[in-house]
Structures are given as structure tokens and as C-alpha cells.
């Protein structure tokens, strides 16, 4: 029996980068959280602490900031590809580089004034190897709610089941979604905007008998409308809204007054994929 090192990677997580682009008096702002993870020939440092193939994580952080100045920052997918390719090309021991970016939105208030969008974030996870690149885009924390057109009944009942069947309920969720692109180039801004429109439209337009059905409809809509996307992964928390019992006050409650539940919550997760696309080159998670 031997004990061996299994899969491993390392990098600098959550480098916070704010880049101001000045066009005279009119400025724009990009606000990223960048994580770098490198994998490759790292046996020596794990075995003996021989760091001769270890690019310091501190250097990765510096590279993020220097690239923001030298190359500028645009779409998160483009910046992630630039960084990933740099580490694979410049460091022979690096076999794969995964760059993950969360992009925080700022709404313009004036030529150089902005208000932070407090809700959802845009994400990009790019994996680069010597001969391939994989781009995964996504959104996190997009809260959606339908006040009707949602039912849930016909479910399994056992001796612990108390949930009453619902023929008209609130359906609410905070969408975490990621989608894998077929190619490593594209119009990232347009693709992202239209994928998000597809997710929102499918949520709003689906008459739902379960959040699972809504998940499938959302993933299907993205793939139907966006030929550049191979596969969509969704995690949909069921943000339960409970009808308040107003009968002690001699009041009716015809689906008008709710308690917004916090936890626990149902968590519905699934992948919707085309059946004729190449497999992912690297594992990716939601
Ligand atoms: O859309 C739903 N799916 C479920 O699986 C489930 N389970 C539950 O208690 N409520 C719901 N709602």
C-alpha cells in the first residue's frame, strides 16, 4: 500500500479588482472578484516543500492588477481567458488554469457616479489548457417571484406528510445558474444578456406544477434561444411563502397575506443539456 497525492490545485482566491475607465469626464466602472486556480506539476512542493515549480499566489494577485492596467478589463469571460492563457503559456509546469470571476453591477447615476446593484452577480469560470479552453458563464442570486400560476399537488404522502396540496401559490426563487459555451470566443455581453432574458421569460411564462418543471423550462429556453450554449446547470431554492391564518381576527385570507419564509427551503437542482455536444474539458460546479 502506498499513500499518494490525489488531484490538487492552488491559487489566489477572491482578488477584488475595481477598474475605472476614464473617457474625459465620463467614467465607467468594473468591479470584479477574481479567483485563480492552477494545476500541474506540483508533486515536489507537496512531498518535500520544494517550491521550484510553485508560482506564488501573491504573484497571481499582482498579475490580476497589472493585467487590468496593461490590457484593460472588459467582459469577465474575456479577462478570464486572458489570465488563464497567460498562466498556461508562461509557466510550463501549469497544465490547467481556472479563472473564476464574479462581476458586481453598478448602475450609472451620472458621468462619474454609480449605485451598486445589491442583488444578483454575473459569473464567469474559464478553464484553459495547452490546447483547449472552456467558458462557463452564469448568474447568482437573481430573485424571481410569480404571485400565481403555480400549483403543487399529487405528491407522495407518507405518515410524516402534512403539506396540503396547493392549487394557487406563490413561486419564488433565487436563481443560481451556470451555462457552458460551445466555443471559447463569442459576444459575451450579448450572450449573457439574452441568456438571462431567457431565464426570466421562462420563469414568468411557465404555468408551474413544480419548481422542478420550472427548472426544466428555464434550461430548455436558454438552449432553444442560444445556439452557442451547450449545457445549463441550475440551483433553485424554493423561497416558500406561507399563507397567514387570519381567522383568529375574523378575517379571510384569499392568497393575499404571506409570511416570507427564510429557512429551511427546498433546493431544486438540475442540469439541462443538448445530447449532441462534446463533453466538458474540465469539471465545473454550480
Ligand atoms: O415545487 C415544489 N417541488 C417540491 O419538490 C416540493 N416539495 C415541497 O414540500 N414543496 C415543493 N414544491
Task: Considering the candidates 129, 212, 213, 220, report the single residue annotated as catalytic.
Answer: 212
What is the average per-residue pLDDT within 143-157? Answer: 98
Each residue of 27-37: pLDDT tens digit?
999 999 999 99
> In this model, does residue 55 exceed pLDDT 80?
yes
Tell me which residue of 113, 95, 99 sits closest to 39, measured CA to CA.
Answer: 95
Confidence label for 53 from pLDDT (cuts 50, 70 and 90):
very high
**Residue 87 belongs to domain with CATH number:** 3.10.270.10
166 DSSP assignment = B
What is the average per-residue pLDDT within 174-201? Answer: 98
Q: Say if residue 148 is in the same domain as residue 122.
A: no
Q: Say if residue 78 is in the same domain as residue 153.
A: no
What distance in angstroms lies between residue 159's CA and the mean position of ligand 1's atoms?
Answer: 17
What distance in angstroms lies between residue 229's CA and the mean position of ligand 1's atoms?
Answer: 28
Q: How many helices (H) and strands (E) does the chain have?
A: 5, 10
Q: Can you read off the three cell numbers belonging to residue 208?
A: 408551474
Q: For position 131, what pLDDT does the model report?
A: 96
Answer for the pair 44, 53: CB distance below 8 angstroms, yes or no. Answer: yes
Beta carbon of 163 within 6 Å of any ligand 1 atom: yes
Answer for the pair 84, 76: CB distance below 8 angstroms, yes or no. Answer: no
Beta carbon of 109 within 6 Å of any ligand 1 atom: no
Average pLDDT, the chain: 97
Whose grid coordinates read 479552453?
133
What is the average per-residue pLDDT within 70-95? Answer: 98
Per-residue burial over 204-237, b if 16 or more Cβ lie within 10 Å, else e, is eebebebbeebbbbbbebbbeebebbbbbbbbbb
Q: For position 221, what pLDDT does the model report?
A: 98
Count of domains in the chain? 2
Q: Say if residue 122 is in the same domain as residue 152.
A: no
Each residue of 91-126: pLDDT tens digit?
999 999 999 999 999 999 999 999 999 889 999 999
Beta carbon of 211 within 6 Å of any ligand 1 atom: yes
Known binding-site residue numbers for urate: 57-58, 152, 169, 212, 238
> In this model, does residue 286 exceed pLDDT 80?
no
Known active-site residue 212: yes
CA distances from 1 to 4, 8, 20 (A): 10, 21, 56
Atom of ligand 1 nearest to the CA of 163: 9
Q: Say if residue 108 is in the same domain as residue 234.
A: no
What distance in angstroms lies between residue 211's CA and the mean position of ligand 1's atoms?
Answer: 7
Q: Please tell me the distance from the alpha carbon of residue 100 to that of residue 123, in angstroms, as a whole number.
A: 7
Tell me which residue of 263, 277, 282, 275 sits closest to 130, measured CA to CA.
Answer: 282
- CA-closest residue to ligand 1 atom 8: 266
Q: Say if residue 104 is in the same domain as residue 140.
A: no
Whether residue 146 lies inside any domain: the answer is: yes
Tell me which residue of 61, 58, 67, 72 sits closest to 34, measured CA to CA.
Answer: 61
What ipTM, to 2 d.p.?
0.99
Q: Please tell me the distance from the alpha carbon of residue 235 to that of residue 215, in angstroms, as a whole number.
A: 8
What distance in angstroms lies between residue 119's CA and the mean position of ligand 1's atoms?
Answer: 25
Q: Which of 114, 129, 144 is the last residue of a domain?
A: 129
Task: Considering the candidates 15, 63, 206, 240, report the single residue annotated as catalytic.
Answer: 240
Q: Say if residue 143 is in the same domain as residue 218.
A: yes
| Domain region containing 280 | 132-286
Amino acid at each position: 500500500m502506498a499513500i499518494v497525492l490525489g488531484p490538487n490545485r492552488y491559487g489566489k482566491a477572491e482578488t477584488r479588482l475595481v477598474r475605472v475607465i476614464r473617457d474625459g469626464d465620463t467614467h465607467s466602472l468594473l468591479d470584479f472578484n477574481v479567483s485563480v486556480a492552477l494545476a500541474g506539476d506540483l508533486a515536489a512542493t507537496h512531498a518535500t516543500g520544494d517550491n521550484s515549480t510553485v508560482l506564488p499566489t501573491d504573484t497571481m494577485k499582482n498579475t490580476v492588477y497589472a493585467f487590468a492596467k496593461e490590457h484593460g478589463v472588459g467582459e469577465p469571460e474575456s479577462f478570464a481567458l486572458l489570465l488563464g492563457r497567460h498562466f498556461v503559456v508562461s509557466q510550463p509546469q501549469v497544465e490547467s488554469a481556472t479563472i473564476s470571476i464574479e462581476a458586481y453591477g453598478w448602475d450609472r447615476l451620472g458621468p462619474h457616479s454609480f449605485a451598486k446593484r445589491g442583488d444578483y452577480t454575473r459569473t464567469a469560470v474559464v478553464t484553459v489548457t495547452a490546447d483547449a479552453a472552456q467558458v462557463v458563464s452564469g448568474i447568482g442570486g437573481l430573485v424571481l417571484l410569480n404571485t400565481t400560476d403555480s400549483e403543487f399537488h399529487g405528491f407522495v404522502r407518507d405518515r410524516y406528510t402534512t403539506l396540503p396540496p396547493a392549487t394557487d401559490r406563490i413561486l419564488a426563487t433565487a436563481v443560481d445558474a451556470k451555462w457552458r459555451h460551445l466555443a471559447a470566443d463569442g459576444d459575451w455581453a450579448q450572450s449573457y444578456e439574452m441568456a438571462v432574458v431567457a431565464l426570466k421569460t421562462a420563469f414568468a411564462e411557465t404555468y408551474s406544477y413544480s419548481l422542478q418543471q420550472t427548472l426544466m423550462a428555464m434550461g430548455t429556453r436558454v438552449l432553444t434561444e442560444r445556439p452557442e450554449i451547450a449545457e445549463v446547470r441550475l440551483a433553485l431554492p424554493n423561497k416558500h411563502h406561507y399563507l397567514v391564518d387570519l381567522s383568529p381576527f375574523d378575517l379571510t385570507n384569499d392568497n393575499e397575506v404571506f409570511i416570507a419564509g427564510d429557512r429551511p427551503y427546498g433546493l431544486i437542482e438540475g442540469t439541462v443539456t443538448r445530447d449532441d455536444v462534446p463533453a466538458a474539458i474540465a469539471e465545473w460546479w454550480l
